[in-house]
Structure 1
Amino acid sequence: MTTARPLDSEELASTASEREVLEAFIDAYQDVIIARLRGLSADDARRRLVPSLTTLIGLIKHAAAVERNWFQQCLAQQLREQVAGNSFGDDASWQAGSDETVANVIAEYVTACDRSRQSAAGFALDDTVPHSRLGRVWLRYIYVHIIRELARHCRHADILREQVDGVTGH
């Protein structure tokens, strides 16, 4: 007799409202990207295994910047100067300072995600906000964009983590 694995958070939301489904997928991917960094030494988290700036610690730094860009700067309409940390998602967003630890980079990301959830709470999925390039965007669009971004980077993190120490998994 085989024992079925417990349902994942996004599976538990399979009959929930649209917003709950979107948020469940965001939460699940946020958990995955954090899990890929946990248990690594600072040196392993910073190892460059590809020609680009991509490292495991850099993925988390970049993900935090993207959260800030879409939820604090775009959705909440905060000025970039009001946002703590990089909110561009540019090359600099991939860089962790030599004094930054795995634990404090994860904490920075968790804080950015918490602020995103707080910002989004005041909006309905159909609410739109101005966007400098797209004109206006729905909260729904922001959620889907973040899911796409996190899904891509989770796959990057899976591959990098496997290269670092052989750890694989869902």
Structure 2
Amino acid sequence: MVTIVPFTGGEKESLHAALDRHRDAVLWKVRGLDDEQLRRPLTPSGTNLLGLVKHLGGAELGWFRQTFGRATGPLPFDVDADDGSDLRIEPHESTAEVLAFYARARAACDEVIAELDLDDTGTSWSGRTVSLRWVLIHMTTETARHAGHLDILRELTDGATGDHDRS
């Protein structure tokens, strides 16, 4: 089922639905592929489908949880390293673990969205004061951007195209 952004909904409800729509597309893009297909590097930089899911889970936890002073729980990469480890799938990481991490991140971030008002502020990793509204817009943009990358990688993997599951 495709998440629909309400045509006349409130601002927070609409922003959250827009984020969920792209989150759902991310998961749809990895559905039905085997471990080798999900891990296969398809660009010179080594980008792969599963690595983008891992990255998005970490980005959500950073922006929604850390920004607003909440714990992230364990992360499958070193947050202080600037080495791309949030995009890299290590040999010991299973597909199930990465997908569970993304689901946990999504649920934990949904808690923050539910608890805060759009004008509530936190401090980002850069030290800037940002509102929940800004974070929702930023993460929707970030998720949509990477869903587009996933779309291209999926087409390169098995020829499948489309932006959402139509069933």
Contact 2:66 2:124 (C-alpha < 8 Å) held by counterparts: no
- Aligned match of 1:52: 45
Gaps of 5+ in 1: 1-5
More helix by percentage: 1
Larger deviation, residues 137-146 vs 124-133: 124-133
- Aligned match of 1:147: 140
- Aligned match of 1:166: 159
For residue 9 of structure 1, give the secondary structure of its aligned residue in structure 2. coil
- Aligned match of 1:83: 73
Q: Which amino acid aligns with 2:131?
A: W
- The 3 A distance-change label for structure 1 pair 115 and 87 is farther
1:97 Cα shift?
2.4
Determine what percentage of the aligned residue pairs are the same residue.
34
Gaps of 5+ in 2: none
Query: Can you list the C-alpha shifts for 1:110-146, whole angstroms capped at 9, x where unaligned?
Result: 1100000112222100111123425210000000000
Q: Which amino acid aligns with 1:114?
A: A
TM-score normalized by the length of structure 2: 0.88
For residue 109 of structure 1, give the secondary structure of its aligned residue in structure 2. helix
- Aligned match of 1:65: 58
RMSD across aligned C-alpha pairs, in angstroms? Answer: 2.0
Compare CA radii of gyration and give the structure with the larger one.
Answer: 1
- Residue correspondence of structure 1 range 4-153 to structure 2 within 5 A: 8-11=2-5, 13-75=6-68, 77-78=69-70, 83-85=73-75, 86=77, 88=79, 90=82, 91-153=84-146
Contact 1:55 1:160 (C-alpha < 8 Å) held by counterparts: yes
1:10 Cα shift?
2.7
For residue 110 of structure 1, give the secondary structure of its aligned residue in structure 2. helix
Higher relative contact order (CA 8 A, sep 6+): 2
Contact 2:121 2:132 (C-alpha < 8 Å) held by counterparts: yes
Distance of 1:42 and 1:87 partners within structure 2: 23
* Number of residue equivalences: 160
